[in-house]
Every structure is written in C-alpha cells, then in structure tokens.
Amino acid sequence: MAGSERTVVWFRRDLRIDDNPALAAAARDGAVLPVFIWCPADEGQFYPGRCSRWWLKQSLPHLSQSLESLGCPLVLIRAESTLEALLRCIDSVGATRLVYNHLYDPVSLVRDDKIRKELSALGISIQSFNGDLLYEPWEIYDDSGLAFTTFNMYWEKCMELPIDISPSLAPWKLVPVPGLESVRSCSVDDLGLESSKDEESSNALLRRAWSPGWRNAEKMLEEFVSHGLLEYSKHGMKVEGATTSLLSPYLHFGEVSVRKVYQLVRMQQIKWENEGTSEAEESIHFFMRSIGLREYSRYLCFNFPFTHEKSLLGNLKHYPWKVDEERFKSWRQGMTGYPLVDAGMRELWATGWTHNRIRVIISSFAVKFLLIPWTWGMKYFWDVLLDADLESDILGWQYISGSLPDGHELSRLDNPEVQGQKYDPDGVYVRTWIPELARMPTEWIHHPWDAPSCILEVAGVELGFNYPKPIVELHIARECLDDAISTMWQLDTAEKLAELDGEVVEDNLSNIKTFDIPKVVLRETSPCALPIDQRVPHASSNDHNLKSKVLKASNRSSICVDMIRSSKMEATSSVANSPVSRKRSYCETAFHVPSYSSSAEVHSHIQDHGGSLVGPSRYLLQEAGRNCVDEVEDSSTADSGSSISRQRKAA
C-alpha cells in the first residue's frame, strides 16, 4: 500500500467495485472501512418507493459479497442521522478521512454540504469524486459564465470539451481498518427496505425480470451494445417489448458508470465505422443524446436547486392548476378512458417500469388534459418507478409542463388516439395491459368510444362499466387548456402591475398540497372482481382554492370544469433467455383470447359463435397501505402525437 491512512468509504448510489473513484482512492492510500447508511429521516418527502427500495435490497448483498472477496466486508447501518452514523464509524476505527462520490439531487446537495462542514470543523479530511457524470455541472457554462437553460446548447458545449473516459481501476485487494469489529453492522433485512409482507409478495414479480448488482449491470451493458444498440433508433418508435437499453436502474444506483457506458459505445462505433455499417450512426446519435439528457438533468438540479418544487420559467407561477384528487386518482389507476394512457399507467403500477415514450405520453396527459400540478406527477413517478431518479424526474416533468425554455409548448395538446396509432399501431401494448379491450378490433382499439355497439358487444366491452368512458373529451380539454393559459397571462400581467404598488403575488404551486402516494400491490383476481380503490389523502376545502393576490381591476377568465364520468372498472425479446427477455416475460398476462384486426372479422365471429364472449382473467391493482422519478425523453422535435388545434376542436 502507498500509505497507512484509515479511510471511511461512504457508499450511496455508487454500488460497484469497478470504476469507483472514491473506493480506488481509499484503497490506494491505506486501510478502508466501506459503509452504507440507510437513513429514512434524511430522505424527507423523497423517501424511495417500493420498487426502488427492492432494487437497493438486492444490490447491497451483491456489493457486500464483492467487497468481502477483496478482504473487507460492507458495513450496513440503519440510522436516525447520517452525520451521527458517520461520526460513530470514524471514532470507532480512528479514521482520519472520509471519501464519497458526488450526488446532485436537492436532498443530497443539502445533506452533503452539512456533513462536509461538520466533519471539516472536527479535523476530518473530506474528499469527494466524480463517479456519476462525464462532465461536472460546474464545468459547463456559456461565454458569459452563466448556466445553460436549453439542452442543445448545453450538449453542444459538452461535445467541444475533452472527456476523460479512462475508468478508475478496480482494487485487487482491500485492507480492512483495525478495529473493524467494533463497528456495529446490521443485516440487509434489518435495514427495513421491505416494510410489509404485501411488499414482499409484490416484489416477487420483480425478481423474475431484473437482476440487480454491478456484475449484472456490466452483463446488461455488454448485451445491449452487442445486440440492441444497432436497432436503437428504430425501436424508439415501439412501446411494446424490450426496445430500450434497460440500463436506467443500473445507472441510477451506480452499478455501472456512465464513463464505462460511453467508452463501450464509442468503441462499438469505431468498430462499425471500420466495417462500413452506416445505419448505426443514427442509433449512436440517439443513444448518446439520452446519455446527454441524463447529464443535463444533474446540471439543472445543481445550478437551479429549486426545480423540484418550482418551474424554471417564472410565468408558470400563475398557472391555474386543478387540485382535483379524483382525476389524479383516475390517472394513477389507469382509468382515464384513453387506452394508451391507461395501459401505460397500469404497466407502471404493476412493474415499476414503462418505456420512456409512454412516460412522455402519460405525463403530458396529466398536465395538459387534466391540468394536474406537475409536482404531483413528479412525486408519483418517484414513488412507483423502479428506476426512480429525482434529477431525471424533474427534467421530464418540467419539460412536459412547458416549464423549460426548450420544453413542450404550453399550448401543445397531443391526441392520445393518434399517439396510439403511431406507437402501438397493432394494439399489442394496449391489449397486454388492458385485458378488458383484448378483443377489440385494431381499428377501434385506441378509440373504443367510436366503435359501433355490435363491435363493443362482441368484444365484451361496456363503456362506463368494465372500461371507463373518456374522463374528458378532446375538445373540452382543448378549451380548458386555452382558458388556463389565458388566465395565467392575465395573472402575470396583474403581478407586474401589483409590483408597481409594492404587492407580492404568490406562486400558485406554493398553495397546492403535496401528499404521499399510496403504494400498490399486484394481485390476481377473478374476472368479475372490481379493483379496490387506492386511498387518496383527504384535502380540506381550503386546500382546493388557489390563492393569488391580484388587482381588483383584472378580469379573470373562468376555467372550464369538466365532469368526471363515473367508471367501474410485452412481448418477449428476440434475445432468448437474456435479462432483456426476462424483463418482459413476467408481465405478460396469463390468458389467451382472440383479437380482431377488422370489423369484418368481428361480424364473422358473430355468425360463427353468436353472442358475446366472457371476459378474461386479469390482474388488478389493490391498495396496500401508504408510502411516505429512465429519463423522460422526447428525442426528436416532431410531436409524439398529432397536436389538437383550436380549429379541430371547433370542427
């Protein structure tokens, strides 16, 4: 060893041995104490959701086994205070240094700054490293020294700079600190990552699809580069099947470094260029863009740390969000009456995962159709996603809600029917996740409300009973969105006038209640059973009023209020036996029903069988108590679905 220093290595979201700068530095300089601290109190409102905690529970033993094979086991600690736990570890072994890799989300930035100041004041040496990004956020600014607020300009600047992609070598041996036995370590079960039997039963489904751990992450990366990268740009238009890299949860927990991802992709690119494989260029471009979006999400959080609760663009502070918990509940349950949206939400409930294109569609629907506060959607994604990543979550929801200079236009309203025809033209995805519509002909699968009654009867669909009618019609949604934007600009003008008189106008989001989202458990029920409703936290009537001080002279447009209609409510990969194929195989529904591609087939079936068919057995989601956000990407400038214009509404 080059030194005799005693160092505490603080693992967080860098659960790997290979290319771990903090671990490599500690191993190089002397004896080490690897520590992982689970402190729910420090997480606050962003306490990880069920799926995310399941992943962590599987990954920690994998890391511990690897560290132990190198000579030093991982110490697991459940604590009420991360700072106090670190101090106990340092005192127990007489350590003089603490090392860790950077994190960039708002919660971690505050906590890390506090810990650095406290320990430095006690004479403890603190060193932190870049183990998560290609570029540190403080390295990229414009010519005036200001932070970029558009992705394209940010990424162009990044591409002009050199990248150090040489990974830190994994240590071949670790020397444990003397006195290691005096540090109290608990088991991974004692961390309390699975809080109930219901969670354990739900998580059993996840084991069939995913294999957490840093070695499994490297296998997944190599498999994607070898088999999936070449077709990546084509698969971006498909929402069924395993059409993405599936690397986002591994990247979030730091089981594979972004430097290694970049290195392998560039090596493959050079290989294809030498072979003359020109069709790979577009796929490389789109994949590197997705890596860039992940970098940009950390960049925004670091430079604008308020973006988890406020819009980046100031004019949206007056946007009249609808604090409607019933609509929010219908959206979460996949009961909006729009098949593609509902399929996406049900897949999200059941698996903690959905294609990034579907994430764009369902989040856009919540914000633009239902006018639900984007912060509610962001928090829900954080609670249920397997790859929940706060920085990417913030970027995605700000982008969709028009809160970024280069985000979706605030007036843009995408038609879910057209989006379904574009991204799920055969209806495979919808039929997988909405078994009520499994027998609907393809021509009606994305707009069953337009289907003739005879088609609905044979398909076993009764709108308003076993599948809801649309929660809001397209033209009504268009009118409400336009009225909301009009009100926003009136309030913005009123604020400017009020400022002249010294008044202060509040941000509408500051008056909207933030509440915890119920966790859900996937259970198989009988075909006739109805889903038990998810619990929605009670809100007092005062919470439903958005309070903003405005001049009495300003005229405020009335916002349309849509009546919510009452309602009762993946294909396997081509790579057999691979983690990718297992990812999708567990979520296929266990039933076989005929599907129809045209009305002619339906009429033929009526003549052959005469009568409607019994609905298939299906999975339903059920509430199981309370629970205290892959990046959202729209990789092209084209609409993800046809935008509903004011003229179309009038027609």
329 and 284 in one domain?
A: no
Is 345 found in the same domain as 247?
A: no
Task: Quickly list DSSP for 170-203.
Answer: PPS--PBPTTGGGS----TGGGTSS-SHHHHHHH
Q: Is residue 70 part of a domain?
A: yes
pLDDT score of 11: 97
Residue 25's pLDDT band (boundaries 50, 70, 90)? very high
**Residues 406 and 460 grouped into a single domain:** yes
pTM, two decimals, is: 0.78
- Please say whether the dihedral angle defined by the alpha carbons of residues 563, 564, 568 and 569, taken in this order, is positive or negative: positive
pLDDT in tens, 164-184: 777 677 888 999 999 888 888
8 A C-beta contact, residue 249 and residue 220: no
Shared-domain flag, residues 7 and 43? yes
Quickly list DSSP for 202-219.
Answer: HHHHHHTT---SHHHHHH
Instruction: Say which residue, 644 or 397, is predicted with more confidence.
Output: 397
List C-alpha distances in Å: 22 to 16, 86, 152, 186.
11, 16, 31, 23
- Is 345 among the domain residues? yes
pLDDT digit string, tens, across residues 46-88: 999 989 999 999 999 999 999 999 999 999 999 999 999 999 9
Which range (369-383, 473-487, 634-648) has the least confidence?
634-648
Domain boundary among 131, 166, 184: 131
Domain end among 108, 131, 154: 131
User: Is residue 524 assigned to a domain?
Assistant: no
- Tell whether 410 is covered by a domain: yes
Is residue 421 scored above 60 in pLDDT? yes
Q: With a cut of 70, say whether residue 32 has pLDDT above it.
A: yes
CB 108 within 8 A of CB 48: no
Q: Residue 60 corresponds to which amino acid?
A: L
- State whether 426 and 355 are in the same domain: yes
pLDDT single digits (tens) 391-416: 999 999 999 998 899 988 889 999 99
Q: What would the two tokens of residue 122 be?
A: 């006690």
Angle at 453 between CA 449 and CA 457, to 5 degrees: 105
Q: Which residue has the higher pLDDT, 520 or 160?
A: 160
Q: Which of 88, 104, 131 is the last residue of a domain?
A: 131
DSSP conformation class of 404: S
Nearest C-alpha neighbor of 163 from the set 180, 192, 140: 140
With cut-offs at 50, 70 and 90, classify the pLDDT of residue 231: confident
Q: In the chain, pLDDT over 90 holds for what percent of residues? A: 58
Return d(Cα 193, Cα 295) in angstroms, integer: 28
- Distance separating alpha carbons of residues 280 and 232, to the nearest angstrom: 9
Residue 283 annotated as part of some ligand binding site: no
Q: Give the pLDDT mean for 513-538.
A: 34
pLDDT of residue 571: 34
CATH number of the domain to which 4 belongs: 3.40.50.620
For residue 310, tell me if it sits in a domain. no
245: annotated binding-site residue?
yes
Q: Are 294 and 631 in contact (CB under 8 A)?
A: yes
581 or 624, greater pLDDT? 581
Q: Does 114 score more than 90 pLDDT? A: yes
Looking at the predicted structure, is the pLDDT value of residue 548 above 80?
no
Residue 601 has pLDDT above 70, yes or no: no
Strands, E, within 520-638: which ranges?
520-525, 618-623
CATH of the domain at 390: 1.10.579.10
pLDDT tens digit sequence for 458-492: 999 999 999 999 999 999 999 999 999 999 999 88
Q: Are residues 127 and 238 in the same domain?
A: no
Task: Find the largest Cα–Cα distance for the chain.
Answer: 86
Residue 360 lies in a domain: yes
Local structure of 157: helix, strand or coil: helix
Range of the domain at 416: 325-477
The per-residue pLDDT for 79 is 94
pLDDT at 14: 95
Amino acid at 287: F
Q: Dig out the tokens for 186 from the structure.
A: 């608990």
Higher pLDDT, 651 or 203: 203
Number of domains in the chain: 3
Residues 278 and 388 in one domain: no
Tokens of 70: 């190198």
Report the phi/psi class of residue 71: left, alpha or beta, with left for phi > 0 and alpha for psi in -120 to 50: left
**Mean pLDDT over residues 323-331, rounded?**
94
pLDDT the model gives residue 497: 84
Please report, for residues 290, 396, 494, the alpha-carbon distance to residue 378 in angstroms, rounded to integers and kept in the order given.
Answer: 19, 8, 29
How do strand 30-38 and strand 5-11 relate by DSSP bridges?
parallel
Q: Which residue has the tokens 């809080």?
A: 195
State residue 363 phi and psi, 5-degree precision.
Answer: -75, -40
Helices 50-69 & 214-223, crossing angle to 10 degrees?
100
pLDDT of 541 strictly over 70: no
Q: Is 336 annotated as a binding residue?
A: no
**Do residues 414 and 329 share a domain?**
yes
Question: Six-digit token pair at 381?
Answer: 């994604």
Query: Mean pLDDT, to the nearest integer, of 495-504?
Result: 72
In terms of DSSP H, where are the helices of 44-165? 50-69, 82-93, 106-121, 151-160
Q: How many residues does the chain have?
A: 651
In DSSP notation, 112-123 reads: HHHHHHHHHHTT
Quote the tokens at residue 304: 């604008």
Decide which of 87 and 535 is more confident.
Answer: 87
Check if the beta carbon of residue 36 is closer than 8 Å to that of residue 85.
no
Q: Range with the lowest mean pLDDT among 4-18, 134-148, 508-522?
A: 508-522
Range in 89-93, 164-168, 246-250 with the lowest mean pLDDT: 164-168
Do the beta carbons of residue 402 and residue 315 sit within 8 Å?
Answer: no
CATH number for the domain harbouring residue 294: 1.25.40.80
Element (H, E) at 420: helix 416-423
User: Is 467 assigned to a binding site?
Assistant: no
Amino acid symbol at 620 = L
Output the pLDDT for position 538. Answer: 30
Task: Let me know whether 386 and 296 are in one domain.
Answer: no
| Residue at 179 is within a domain | no
Cite the DSSP H helix spans in 210-338. Answer: 214-223, 232-235, 248-252, 258-275, 280-303, 325-333
The arithmetic mean of pLDDT across residues 601-627, rounded, is 37
Q: Quick one: 365 and 281 in the same domain?
A: no
- Written as one letter, the residue type at 535 is R
pLDDT per position as a tens digit, 121-155: 999 999 999 999 999 999 999 999 999 999 999 99
* Tokens standing for residue 494: 């009123």
Per the prediction, the chain carries an average pLDDT of 79
What confidence score (pLDDT) does residue 507 get? 65
Least confident of 37-51, 187-201, 354-368, 447-461: 187-201
Residues 394 and 458 both lie in one domain? yes
| Residue 183 within a domain | no
For the segment 215-240, the average pLDDT, to the nearest whole number, is 87
Nearest to 372 by CA among 408, 310, 313, 320: 320
- Residue 244 labelled as part of a binding site: yes
Tell whether residue 164 is among the known ligand binding residues: no
Instruction: Name the pLDDT band for 506 (thresholds 50, 70, 90).
Output: low
Q: What pLDDT shows up at residue 207?
A: 84
Could you tell me which residues come within 8 angstroms of residue 109 by beta carbon, excluding any fewer than 6 positions away? 103, 301, 302, 305
Summarize pLDDT for 288-298 with one digit per residue, the tens.
Answer: 999 999 999 99
- Residue 6 is inside which H or E element, if any? strand 5-11
Q: Do residue 337 and residue 408 come from a single domain? A: yes
Q: What is the average per-residue pLDDT within 419-431?
A: 93
